[in-house]
């Protein structure tokens, strides 16, 4: 077991784009969604570090080795009239799971949410990912009952939106 004092969380920089994409691809492989990754170094550079960025990435390090990644963005709730922190993705390299890395990434994100005065922190998890669900429950997270996630993309998005 690794001491949590050895885990360091650092904000990603534009120089980390190659590494961010590597972690994203690792997550996609774990989730069986490698065909879904269309992100490129260029669009990650723009979306995470460009002038209109609403997202940020942080790495967990053990020594000089990056072992985990979290990607976060601001989310708005009309009911509360306040922002919250949305955890888009969290990924810990398989060989480092169970060593407190994920917990430290989540604690860092929770700290950001509190520091920024956000109401809450939210995320989605695949329904088959029992280890992640158990991890989140152990942190005290609660499943949001009564809500389903929908997505409009590709051809359906093109049909619905006005012509470009």
Tokens of 132: 């992640």
76 strand-pairing partners? 83
- CB 42 within 8 Å of CB 23: no
pTM assigned to the model: 0.93
| Residues tagged active-site | 136
pLDDT 10s digits, 72-120: 999 999 999 999 999 999 999 999 999 999 999 999 999 999 999 999 9
Residue 92 φ/ψ, nearest 5 degrees: -115, 135
Average pLDDT over residues 7-11: 98
pLDDT 10s digits, 16-33: 999 999 999 999 999 999
Residue-number span of the structural domain to which 133 is assigned? 4-160
Q: Which CATH number is 40's domain given?
A: 3.40.630.30
In angstroms, rounded to a whole number, what is the distance separating the alpha carbons of residues 63 and 6?
7
Terminal C-alpha separation, the chain: 54
Q: What is the side-by-side strand order in the sheet with 82-92?
A: 7-11, 55-62, 65-77, 82-92, 121-123
What confidence tier does 164 reach under pLDDT thresholds 50, 70, 90? confident
Cβ neighbours of 143 (radius 10 Å): 10
Total domains present in the chain: 1
């Amino acid at each position: 077991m690794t001491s949590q004092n050895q885990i360091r969380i650092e904000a990603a920089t534009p120089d980390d784009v190659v590494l961010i994409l590597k972690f994203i691809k690792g997550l996609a492989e774990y989730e069986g969604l490698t065909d879904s990754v269309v992100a490129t170094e260029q669009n990650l550079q723009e979306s995470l570090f460009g002038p209109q960025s609403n997202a940020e990435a942080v790495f967990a390090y053990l020594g000089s080795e990056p072992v985990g990644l979290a990607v976060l963005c601001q989310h708005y709730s009309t009911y509360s009239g306040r922002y919250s922190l949305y955890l888009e993705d969290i990924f810990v390299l398989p060989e480092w799971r169970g060593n407190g890395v994920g917990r430290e990434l989540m604690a860092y994100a929770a700290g950001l949410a509190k520091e920024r005065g956000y109401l809450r922190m939210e995320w989605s998890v695949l329904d088959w990912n029992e280890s992640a669900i158990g991890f989140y429950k152990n942190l005290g997270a609660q499943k949001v009952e009564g809500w389903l996630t929908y997505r409009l993309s590709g051809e359906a998005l093109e049909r619905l939106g006005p012509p470009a």
